[in-house]
Amino acid sequence: MFLIVGLGNPEEKYAKTFHNLGFLAAGDCAALLHTKFKKKECEASVAEAYLAGEKVIVARPFTYMNASGRAVKQLMRKYRVGPSELVVIYDDYDLPKGHVRIRPSGSAGTHNGMRSVIAETGITEFPRIRIGIRDEGTEIPLIDYVLSDIKKEDYDLFASACTRAAEAAIALASGTRFDLVMNKYNG
């Protein structure tokens, strides 16, 4: 069993914002696994698939970014998933735009969604895939920036980053060694 959670905000008005890159990557995961989001449970939209004989759950929490941990905790409990069987995908202002960074554990950094996940689950030792959003030319407050729409000229860059993040999550779910996934997808 493996649980992949993409963080974001459920309303349509947030669909093309930086803070929804986790949702977009989760959508890419579902597409790569040839499944769709059909179920609503644990305050999340859920897609189910099998990979190498193991069940993989891909989820997008309905709880909004700042309460993402509530859904993650419920999903972990329902599916009896431990920290090593969870991967969370999210946007990260601390990385340059379009960069993907995979880590086995860590702090929440400046990300409120990850703060919620860590606070609700009580764990920091779980894989996470971050998609960089920092644009050196932008000088607006962080809260406004993460909720702003991705520029049209950057859309392909972020679409590619989301696909790479999804591929990395699926590689982890398939049992590929963590160091190999990091070497292939970081950057």
Residue 117 pLDDT > 80: yes
pLDDT of residue 147: 87
* H or E element, residue 52: none
Rounded to an integer, what distance in angstroms lies between the CA atom of residue 71 and that of residue 80? 14
Sorted by where each begins, the domain ranges of the chain are: 2-185
The 10s digit of each residue's pLDDT in 20-55 is 999 999 999 999 999 999 999 999 999 999 998 999
The structure's pTM equals 0.95
pLDDT of residue 187: 75
Please pick, among 19, 34, 99, 111, the residue that the annotation labels catalytic: 19
The 10s digit of each residue's pLDDT in 145-183 is 888 899 999 999 999 999 999 999 999 999 999 999 999
The 10s digit of each residue's pLDDT in 42-98 is 999 999 999 989 999 999 999 999 999 999 999 999 999 999 999 999 999 989 999
pLDDT of residue 35: 97
The one-letter amino acid code at 143 reads: I
> Any catalytic annotation for residue 19?
yes
Fold of the domain built from segment(s) 2-185: Rossmann fold (3.40.50)
Distance of CA 116 to the CA centre of its chain: 14
Q: Which residues contact 91 (CB under 8 A, 6 or more apart)?
A: 7, 18, 19, 20, 21, 22, 111, 130, 131, 132, 133, 146
Region 105-121 average pLDDT? 92
Average pLDDT, the chain: 94
- E-only strand ranges, the chain: 2-6, 39-41, 44-51, 54-61, 86-96, 100-103, 128-134
Report in angstroms the alpha-carbon separations of 156 from 26, 84, 93, 98, 169.
Answer: 17, 31, 18, 9, 20
Q: How many CB atoms lie within 10 A of CB 107?
A: 10
Buried b (16+ CB within 10 A) or exposed e, 120-147: bbeeeebbbbbbbbbbeeeeeeeeebbe
pLDDT of residue 137: 75
